[in-house]
């Protein structure tokens, strides 16, 4: 009978984890607001009928067009930054960051502008939520930039993960709101605000889980790439 000697190196070999499920899921999540944004752009450019719901966009189209384009770029391109084999390549990460940083900043700033200056047809119940999470996204991007400048890549990755989670909140809000409409029925203004906040909170909670799991792996001595890039900022 022949025997095989299992070396420590062979025993330590693990099957590589699939790299694309997470970014694929993020792209699918992002497609919800991307599609609605494309419909809004088509509405603005095709001379659609002005209604109380869209009058603010026709009166001042630049902020909403800026927001739609920047969020689309940030959410779709940012999803690819979660592919381990791509984010470990500094050159590609820097190139992506040169696009994603301005896109993320424009998305946050245009969202804040619309929250303050656009008259909302349903009132201002959700304005505090929009201001809070829009400001949180903006601050997260700035802190991520400052972290990478001092070469604190772990903090950089954490802050940019938080920013991305807030940016794709509209997709989660749709996933929360659609079941409510199907199971409960139409929503009133306070309920819509609650569902809006729930979508952002779910994303932030998932982001914090990912950040802490990443930190536990690093503390446990799991080998990681030299750099731990985030969705948005170049090295």
The tens digit of pLDDT for each residue in 171-227 reads 999 999 999 989 998 888 889 999 999 999 999 999 999 999 888 887 876 444 444
- The candidate with the shortest Cα–Cα distance to 143, out of 161, 128, 129, 130, is 161
Q: Which residue has the tokens 């119940």?
A: 125
Q: What is the per-residue pLDDT for 228?
A: 39
d(CA 113, CA 107): 10
What is this structure's pTM?
A: 0.82
Q: Pick the residue with more confidence: 50 or 120?
A: 50
Mean pLDDT calculated for residue range 112-123: 85
Q: Given a cut of 60, is residue 65 above it in pLDDT?
A: yes
> Which pLDDT band holds residue 16 (cuts at 50, 70, 90)?
low
> Which pLDDT band holds residue 160 (cuts at 50, 70, 90)?
very high
Per-domain residue ranges of the chain:
21-219
Tokens standing for 30? 């992002």
Tokens standing for 183? 């199971």
Tokens standing for 209? 């889980």
Tokens standing for 76? 């779709």
Tokens standing for 64? 């909403």
- The candidate with the shortest Cα–Cα distance to 136, out of 102, 108, 169, is 108
């Amino acid at each position: 009978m022949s025997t095989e000697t299992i070396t420590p190196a062979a025993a330590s070999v693990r099957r590589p984890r699939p790299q694309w499920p997470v970014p694929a899921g993020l792209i699918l999540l992002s497609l919800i607001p991307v599609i609605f944004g494309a419909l809004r752009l088509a509405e603005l450019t095709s001379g659609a009928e002005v209604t109380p719901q869209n009058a603010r966009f026709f009166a001042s189209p630049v902020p909403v067009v800026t927001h739609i384009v920047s969020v689309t770029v940030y959410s779709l391109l940012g999803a690819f930054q979660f592919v381990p084999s791509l984010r470990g390549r500094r050159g590609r990460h820097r190139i992506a960051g040169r696009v994603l940083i301005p896109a993320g900043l424009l998305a946050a700033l245009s969202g804040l502008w619309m929250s303050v200056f656009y008259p909302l047809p349903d009132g201002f119940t959700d304005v505090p939520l929009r201001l809070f999470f829009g400001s949180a996204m903006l601050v997260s991007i700035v802190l991520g930039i400052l972290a990478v400048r001092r070469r604190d890549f772990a903090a950089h990755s954490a802050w940019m993960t938080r920013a991305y989670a807030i940016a794709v909140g509209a997709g989660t809000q749709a996933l929360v709101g659609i079941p409510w409409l199907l199971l409960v029925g139409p929503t009133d203004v306070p309920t819509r605000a609650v569902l809006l906040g729930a979508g952002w909170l779910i994303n932030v909670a998932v982001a914090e889980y990912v950040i802490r799991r990443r930190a536990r792996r690093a503390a446990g001595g799991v080998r990681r790439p030299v750099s731990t890039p985030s969705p948005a900022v170049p090295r």
